Amino acid sequence: MTSLERRPETGRSVTAKVLALLESFTPEAPEMTLSELARRAGVSLPTAHRRVAELLEWGALERGPDGRYRIGLRLWELGSLAPRGLGLREAAMPFLEDLYEFTRENVQLAVREDTEVVFVERISGHRAVPVWTRVGGRFALHATGVGLVLLAHAPVEIQQELLETPLERYSSRTITDPGTLRAKLADIRHSGFAVSDGQVTTDALSVAAPVTDQDGTVIAAVSLVVRADGAQPAMLAPVVQSAARSITRSLYVPRPTPDDSARRIPS
């Protein structure tokens, strides 16, 4: 039994079983047979058949010509309404696009969810260094540029929880020592930006800066990911910080409503 396969449980609610079926899908397993779904979710085949039929009817799942199941567009429609993703992404996109046009490198926008990074948007070019991230994907806080920014400004209890947990090593440069990581987080708070130099893959370097709310609380991070060879973080940081500040300002500038526009039309 793999770590992604759940042991059958007694007493689970219908909702819990439905959620277990949905979260069985991963980037590595985007399509599955009914038997595979039942095994990974830890439910019986008859239960999986009933619940999957309901999910198909509602649009949460789709069934391909080969009979395998995949996530349906209805879930994507609902997910796009998540306020932290939707409003943030709409406000950020013009500045993310400007940053990409200026650099032609990977541009990322992310938020923190507990002790993980969730990527809200990503723009990449044909010749940009390959990255592991994807929109909607999650990653560790301690390794990526955006993650380091978000961790540096996270509540103390979140920092403590993560620092007391064994930190996964993604490359030879990943910081896994709690004391070293604490010092780096303090430096990030002081400098206003983070650099992840080869901490995920040794060929990539990330420079990230915080996006804040009106009270100065960090709510997101934007980053530029470039090839590590020849990269100059000190030159990249001001550009990324400028984009982050622009996103912050755009989040709190009142936008005209249709009624406002109508009132401005001369009679």
Beta-bridged to residue 71, according to DSSP, are 61
Domain 83-251 has CATH 3.40.1110.10: no
Q: How far apart are CA 128 and CA 42, in angstroms?
A: 40
Q: How far apart are CA 236 and CA 65, in angstroms?
A: 48
Token pair in block for residue 40? 């990974």
- The SS3 of residue 253 is coil
Token pair in block for residue 70? 């995949």
DSSP annotation of 244: H
Burial 21-30 (b: 16+ CB within 10 A, else e): bbebbeeeee
Q: Where in the chain is the domain with CATH 1.10.10.10?
A: 14-78
Residue 254, pLDDT score? 56
Q: How far apart are CA 51 and CA 18, in angstroms?
A: 6
Q: Where in the chain is the domain with CATH 3.30.450.40?
A: 83-251
The torsion angles phi and psi of 121, rounded to 5 degrees, stand at -155, 150
Residue 136, pLDDT score? 77
Under 8 Å between Cβ of 8 and 38: no
Residue 184, pLDDT score? 96
Average pLDDT of each block of 10 consecutive residues along the chain (267 residues)? 46 84 83 90 90 89 89 75 65 91 91 89 80 80 94 94 92 93 96 93 93 90 90 92 93 58 40
Burial 82-92 (b: 16+ CB within 10 A, else e): eeebeebbebb
The torsion angles phi and psi of 48, rounded to 5 degrees, stand at -60, -40
Residue 181, pLDDT score? 95
Residue 91, pLDDT score? 85
- What number does CATH give the domain 14-78? 1.10.10.10
Of 51, 65, 46, give the one whose Cα is nearest residue 19.
51
Total-model pTM:
0.69
| Count, residues in the chain | 267
